[in-house]
Amino acid sequence: MGVLHSRALMLMKVEGNQIVERKPIWLGKYQRVRDVQQGPDGWIYVAVQSPEGTIIRLVP
C-alpha cells in the first residue's frame, strides 16, 4: 500500500482477513507515492510524484 503523506510504502503481512504485521519501506528522496502495481514480469513497480515522473522497480 502506498502512503502519500510519509513518502513510504507499507508492507503488510495478511493472515486470513487480518493484518498481522506492518513494515514501512521508506523511499527517501522521492516524492509522494502515486501508484503501486505488479507488472506482467512479476516485479512490483511504484510510480512516485517527481519532476522526472519516476517509476521505481522494487527488488527483494
Question: If pLDDT is split at 50, 70 and 90, which confidence band does 24 have?
Answer: confident
Q: What is the mean pLDDT of residues 17-32?
A: 81
For the entire predicted model, the pTM comes to 0.66
- Annotate 1-60 with three-state secondary structure: CEECCCCEEEEEEEECCEEEEEEEEECCCCCCEEEEEECCCCCEEEEECCCCCCEEEECC
Q: What is the mean pLDDT of residues 25-52?
A: 83
Count of domains forming the chain:
1
Could you tell me how many residues make up the chain?
60
**Is the distance from CB of 32 to CB of 49 less than 8 angstroms?**
yes
Q: Which residue has the cell 507488472?
A: 39
Q: What is the mean pLDDT of residues 31-51?
A: 87
Owning domain of residue 31: 2-58
Sign of the dihedral through C-alpha 59, 26, 35, 10: positive
